[in-house]
Amino acid sequence: MPFKQYKSAGLAHFSYMIADQGQATIVDPSRDIDGYLCNAAVAGFHIDQVLETHRNEDYVIGSCEVEAAMGAKIFHADRQWEYKYGQPTGNG
């Protein structure tokens, strides 16, 4: 399972798990993180990163829940906005 897409029921929201060599990154996680945790455990991956591709004010994001459950680091791709958690990332 190097790549898995998740659809949030009732929302126009997709999130993704990308994994390699025992490590996994969740992209734009939904608040319900059980599916990510279960899939990662079954496949033998540790979720070590979360990437938010944009400010997610259209739904409740689960980045902080993944951080709390797995110790994952949170990264934001849109540096122009202030966040109260995680850290910005960019090219390079």
Specify the CATH number for the domain of residue 80. 3.60.15.10
- Are the C-beta atoms of residues 74 and 85 closer than 8 Å to each other? yes
pLDDT digits (tens, 9 = 90+) for 14-46: 999 999 999 999 999 998 999 999 999 999 999
As for how many domains the chain has, the answer is 1
Q: Give this prediction's pTM.
A: 0.86
- Are the C-beta atoms of residues 52 and 74 closer than 8 Å to each other? yes
pLDDT digits (tens, 9 = 90+) for 47-69: 999 998 876 665 678 999 999 99
Give the up-direction half-sphere exposure of residue 83: CA atoms within 13 A in the CB hemisphere: 21
Find the domain containing 10 and state its range: 3-88
